[in-house]
Structure 1
Amino acid sequence: METLNEVALPYAEWQPTKETIHRYLQIVGKLRLAVSPRRNHWWNVPFHVTASGITTRPMGRDPVFAIDFDFIDHRLIVATNHGSRSSFSLQGLSVAEFHDALVHAMLAVGADPFPILLSRPFDLPDSDRQFRVDDEHRSYDPSAAATYWRVLADVNILLEEFCGRYSGKTSPVHHFWHTFDIAATRFSDAIVEHGGGVDPVTREAYSREVMSSGLWFGDAETPEPAFYAYTSPEPNGLSDQALPDGANWRPRGGEHLAVFPLSAAQRTGDVRTAALEFWEVAYRAGAMLANWDIDRLSCPDGVTDPLLRISIASTAAPLRASRS
């Protein structure tokens, strides 16, 4: 099985599959938005990575149910806390057929499909067309779908490691169905005031100073997966800060996004180390300019206990010496 050091997911080759899966995810994601208990910064809405795909996590009330995408067996599974279960194959389905199959699967387990019956894509070119009549998007390459999931799974672990290095408020690692990326966000306590002209989704997501890190799967302008990072609100001078070789700052809606293509990380021979360094450098650039207390918020090896830190350091020192 390919690792992040070897995987290739050229945008042009898997774009039709990506566009179909993206709409599958939006249908289920809109259901998650409608029936999950609300969390700060919309943390209740995205998907989480599993050992075979992604999950909504439990939601609803009676029954409580979850929806899982299995990208190994290429099935969608709806399961309840009552023991009911219904599933169907993802292969060969148009978005309209997926929509209908999901509605029937939910009815079969006693869950209410009403929130998605008239739903439409969010921030996609066909946002004026209901999912239930979309017969255009129907490509599903199992190999590409499996590769997409393996990238998600590997980057999920990298982001978990990166999150462990920060002791402040941190989001879960989650997969966003609207932008089709996987990310985690570090927060400060600084409140950000937004004017009334800012939409409520943005106001909630960015009600505090944040620094986000993640990977997205590319678009026409960046036709390959790429690691990214940004600070919001963006402090003055951020895009002047140095980034690792192969990374650069790119304009993003009046601000800047630090971008590090997966291919550039692969050229280092060690994607894990390269990605973690990129995220750390981008974080420190934003944290320094935004006056975050970097040292106080640091959490080496995921440990805040000062006595345990001393123990880890004293154990690691002889090991480092023996290897040198």
Structure 2
Amino acid sequence: MELFPAIPLDSWYDTKQTLHRFEQVVGKIRLQHSPRRNHWWNVPFHVTGRGITTRPMGLVDGNPVFTVDFDFVGHRLVAANLDGRTASFPLQGHSVASFYLGLQSALDSLGVDGSITHATPFDLSDTGRPFTEDREHAAYVPEHATRYWQVLSQVALVLEEFAAGFSGKTSPVHHFWHTFDIAVTRFSPHPVPQPREAGQLVREAYSREVVSFGFWFGDDHIPEPCFYSYTAPEPDGLTDRRLDPPSAEWVSSGQGHLALLRYADARKSPDPRATVLEFLESAYRAGAGLAGWDLDALACPRGITDPYLAGR
């Protein structure tokens, strides 16, 4: 299939709203029942050949080892444990409330306690509403869910290719269920003191200097899919730095700025993959360069650190 097929937000808005909440239900189970990793790396989903997965969890919480996967080819939610048993149900035909109850029942049949301390959406318009009371969000069009997964998979591989060029500390390429984006983050060793009032999420995520890169499908603020990058803390003069290609731009976001390349502009280019890689590299050099990172020392061309192969 074509690289970066069209996925305008308004064409699947209702499915996205429902699916986002389905993923928050599963994501909160992952958050509560997996070993914590620095910068919340334990929390996001990873892309699979049929959808997305929590990866194995349990054990440390008294549960058997188990996984929960979204299958966007067969359009099923699949839970499994280490003895090979599975429990699944269709994704279509559920509200958030019935999805939540169906998942808890599936996990219970596998001997898994999938309880969630805060069983409400995170940072969404209905943040205070329990999942068990949400019968409003119940749209699920299979073709839209499949297209979402296909785009997610393609973007993931481009981000993997970009990630290979950095030899320092870097996150996995992973899909965040709270913001519904896919991202990879590069870290410097320089600590960033965060005040207590910044909150637990921010203190852990931004305890080091970062330049982060990713893609999201659009939201109520920017209603179209885009590639993005940001540097935190944001260095002075960042928005004066050039971005490539010329269609990329700096936009205000909260108290800082995002480098933004619209998905539609990437799709129109003669080589969309090369265009996205060019954008990511320009955003990295803008942010990390101003932050004083040693760009040459951290470079890892083609993912190679072997000195006998690096020059070939």
Which range, TM-score by smaller chain? over 0.9
Aligned counterpart, 2:258: 257
Aligned counterpart, 1:42: 40
Aligned counterpart, 1:115: 116
Aligned counterpart, 1:243: 243
Deviation at 1:222, TM superposition (A): 2.0
The answer to whether structure 1 residue 133 and structure 2 residue 133 are counterparts is yes
Residue type at the aligned position of 1:99 = Y
TM-score normalised to structure 2 length: 0.97
Aligned counterpart, 1:306: 307
TM-score normalised to structure 1 length: 0.93
Aligned counterpart, 1:210: 210
Q: Which moved more, 1:264-273 or 1:35-44?
A: 264-273
Distance 1:56 1:126 in 2: 24
Distance 2:51 2:273 in 1: 21
Within 5 A, what are the aligned runs for 1:6-21?
7-21=5-19
Within 5 A, what are the aligned runs for 1:83-98?
83-98=84-99
Deviation at 1:121, TM superposition (A): 0.2
Q: Percent identity?
A: 55
Deviations 1:135-191 (A, max 9, x none): 000000111111100011001101111110000000000000000000000000000
Within 5 A, what are the aligned runs for 1:138-177?
138-177=138-177
Contact kept? 2:225, 2:262, Cα under 8 Å: yes
Aligned counterpart, 2:26: 28
Residue type at the aligned position of 1:209 = E
Deviations 1:206-263 (A, max 9, x none): 0000000010010133222110001000000001111121111111111100110110
Contact kept? 2:93, 2:138, Cα under 8 Å: yes
SS of corresponding position for 1:114: coil
Distance 2:23 2:192 in 1: 30
Structure 2: stretches of 5+ with no match in the other structure: none
Aligned counterpart, 1:319: none
Deviations 1:21-72 (A, max 9, x none): 0000000000100010000000000000001100000001131000000001
Aligned counterpart, 2:273: 272
Residue type at the aligned position of 1:43 = W
Deviations 1:280-311 (A, max 9, x none): 0000001110000000000001001111112x
Structure 1: stretches of 5+ with no match in the other structure: 313-324
Q: 1:51 aligns with which of 39, 49, 52?
A: 49
The answer to whether structure 1 residue 291 and structure 2 residue 292 are counterparts is yes
Contact kept? 2:159, 2:214, Cα under 8 Å: yes
Residue type at the aligned position of 2:66 = F
Distance 1:2 1:146 in 2: 14
Distance 1:211 1:80 in 2: 36
Q: Which moved more, 1:21-30 or 1:216-225?
A: 216-225
Residue type at the aligned position of 1:23 = R
Aligned length: 308
Deviation at 1:12, TM superposition (A): 1.3
Residue type at the aligned position of 1:299 = C
Aligned counterpart, 1:196: 196
Distance 1:270 1:234 in 2: 30
Contact kept? 2:251, 2:258, Cα under 8 Å: yes
Aligned counterpart, 1:222: 222
Contact kept? 2:34, 2:57, Cα under 8 Å: yes
Deviation at 1:13, TM superposition (A): 1.7
Residue type at the aligned position of 1:65 = F
Deviation at 1:84, TM superposition (A): 1.3
Contact kept? 2:21, 2:96, Cα under 8 Å: yes
Distance 1:205 1:114 in 2: 25
Deviation at 1:278, TM superposition (A): 0.3
Q: CA RMSD in A?
A: 1.0
Aligned counterpart, 1:60: 58
Distance 2:133 2:201 in 1: 27
Aligned counterpart, 1:320: none
Distance 1:51 1:164 in 2: 21
Distance 1:120 1:107 in 2: 20
Residue type at the aligned position of 1:162 = F
Deviation at 1:269, TM superposition (A): 2.1
Contact kept? 2:24, 2:122, Cα under 8 Å: yes
